[in-house]
A and B are shown apart, each in its own frame.
Chain A
Amino acid sequence: MGSSEEYWFQSPEKALSQAYSMNIEWCKSYVVKNSGTIEDAEDLFQSCIHVAWVNLKTGKFVGSQEKFNAYLRQICKYKWINILKTRKPTSSINEDRNDYNEGNQQDENWEENEIQTNLLIESLMQLGEGCREILSRFYFKKSSLKSIASSRNTTEKSIKTIKFRCMNKLRKTYLELQRKHE
């Protein structure tokens, strides 16, 4: 990372909302065409955007917003095919089962991606509400430590320490889950 390509996702809130508005209709139409429902499509999109976003932020995927949209759709297709396999072996897919690999420039290990994101979500779910709120305000809303501290009637230093503890807890939970999984 480091080129001008990274600027389009500097604001997570904006970039994620744009990814949603640019791809959700496609996702709904794809899922409905392939034995699913609108609700399935909404759930599928949430899980795809997570994989795609983590890969974008960790540099596994590098590219423009347009390429990211294509990448996101590939992930959705891959995931949906897998969901259908587990649901009903006879469910039909109207498109080539391998087309999620088409044009994929990145060297992907789809299964590993899936396991990693599931563990990440599970780790976050195990974190307390207080921690999740502070981390969300700092990393997602981009609120300053000062404003988080003033809304909680505490000091900036105290919020800094709490944030570190929360991140450390999240980190430890992930590592424990990963160890159990291996």
Chain B
Amino acid sequence: MNNKPEISLEEFEEIERFILGEISSEEKGAFEERIITNQELRREVNFQRSLQATIEVDSWIKNKENSKVSRKLISFLKYGIAASVVFILGLFIWLQPWNSESSSGDIYTAYFYPDPGLPVPMSSTDSYQFDDGMVSYKEEKYQEAQDIWTNLAQDQPTDTLAFYLAMAKLNQKEFESSAQFLDQLLEDSNSEFYQKALWYRSLIYLKEEEKESAIQLLEKLNSPLYKKEELLEKLK
């Protein structure tokens, strides 16, 4: 590659827009004609493509290695440190009489933990996109999961999508928009996500310091998964 030593910002941006497909079809046609006739430009386009490809592979390798490390760390935390922390926290809470002046927001923090998500099968064809989002959700890439599921929900809105969109948003502290999805689910007490929606919506009410609304929802809750009685006792 005998490329020239310097390239101007204008040249760089023009080539970049072409490579990234950010130009109109007319501009693209004209640029492709120039590539055919101008060897220097052709070389530069390929050079920029190879630089971008190197950045992509390098980033992918880094991501892969980071996720390996964090998976190891998570399981270590899960079975080691987490157990000690939970024990110490439990002891602390048990020894302390509940401070009645604690804000509802603090209670939210104490009781909120992310929904673990659904299992992702190794191979699936009909729910591929949903599963793709679930993989991102489990990797705590909540924005990525949200983007995938938002697209999917536009074509086929389901209770499952509504609930996990609410969870993806809640994990990013988007309380208001998460509550909107949970409210949809609370309209149908037969929905399989109704109980989960009651729990997480009541926690959002606590975050918003709306204690009475939270209590009303908690009283409807009938699931052994959540510490309903304990929480109600603290709120009353």
Q: Which residues of A come within 8 Å of B, CB atoms?
A: 12-13, 16-17, 20, 46, 49-50, 53-54, 56-59, 116-117, 120-121, 123-124, 132, 135-136, 139-141, 164, 167-168, 170-172, 174-175, 178
Contacts and interface: CB of A to CB of B under 8 A. Distances in A.
Given A59-B46, A168-B7, A120 B51 contact: yes
Given A13-B63, A167-B12, A53 B1 contact: no
Given A58-B46, A58-B50, A53 B5 contact: no
Contacts of A20: 64
B57 A164 contact: no
B1 A54 contact: no
B9 A16 contact: no
Contact of B56 (A53, A59, A175): A53
A46 B68 CA distance: 15
Interface string B34-56: 00000000000011111111111
Contacts of A168: 6-7, 12
A136 B51 contact: no
Interface in B107-147: none
Interface of B: 1, 3, 5-7, 9, 12-13, 46-64
A148 to B, nearest CB: 14
24 contacts: A16-B56, A16-B57, A17-B60, A46-B61, A50-B57, A53-B56, A53-B57, A54-B53, A54-B54, A54-B57, A57-B49, A57-B56, A116-B50, A120-B50, A121-B54, A124-B55, A132-B55, A136-B62, A139-B55, A139-B59, A168-B7, A168-B12, A171-B3, A172-B6
Interface residue SS majority, chain A? helix
Contact of A164 (B9, B52, B54, B58): B9
Contacts of B47: 171, 174
B12 A50 contact: no
Contacts of B13: 164
A83 to B, nearest CB: 18
A174 B53 contact: no
Given A167-B12, A178-B1, A120 B7 contact: no
B58 A124 contact: yes
A156 to B, nearest CB: 14
Nearest to A14: B132
A168 B57 CA distance: 19
A167 B51 contact: yes
Nearest to A117: B54
Contacts of B9: 164
A101 to B, nearest CB: 23
A120 B47 CA distance: 10
Contacts of B58: 121, 124, 132, 136
